[in-house]
Amino acid sequence: APAAPPQPAKPSSHGVPGYPGRAMFRPGAENQYVLQLGRQLTKKGFGKHYKTGPGPRWSEADRRGVEAFQRTQGWRGGAADGYPGPETWRRLFS
């Protein structure tokens, strides 16, 4: 039998919650994932944009916190747009 291709790292095994999808992080969005994201940003030291702390409604403070985190990953331009994709989510929660 041919050798199996190498398997990618297991997504949510090591305590990383599964990525809920880009639609959860858009202007006007209000959900538990925005709150979860904000709490993790704060925990990692990227909560300085919050005036009253993270909440369930997506805001410019969330976007700026995510952007700051993305920039610390060495990402620029469209890769650091402040909207969390699967890789941003994985790194933030790992």
Centroid of chain to Cα 2: 37
Q: Is 30 helix (H, G, I), strand (E, B) or coil?
A: strand
Q: Is 81 helix (H, G, I), strand (E, B) or coil?
A: coil
Q: Specify the pLDDT at position 73.
A: 98
Centroid of chain to Cα 68: 11
Q: Specify the pLDDT at position 78.
A: 93
How wide is the angle at C-alpha 94 spanned by C-alphas 35 and 52, nearest 5°? 25
- Name the pTM for this structure: 0.83
Q: Specify the pLDDT at position 1.
A: 64
Q: Give the right CATH number for 22-93 from 1.10.101.10, 3.40.50.11820, 1.25.40.80, 3.40.50.2300.
A: 1.10.101.10
On the 0-12 / 13-18 / 19+ scale of CB atoms within 10 A, 55 is middle
Q: Specify the pLDDT at position 67.
A: 98
Phi/psi for 11 (5° steps) reads -65, -60
In tens digits, what is the pLDDT along the chain, a chain of 94 residues?
656 555 444 444 457 789 999 999 999 999 999 999 999 999 999 999 999 999 999 999 999 999 999 999 999 999 999 999 999 999 999 9
Report domain extents, the chain: 22-93
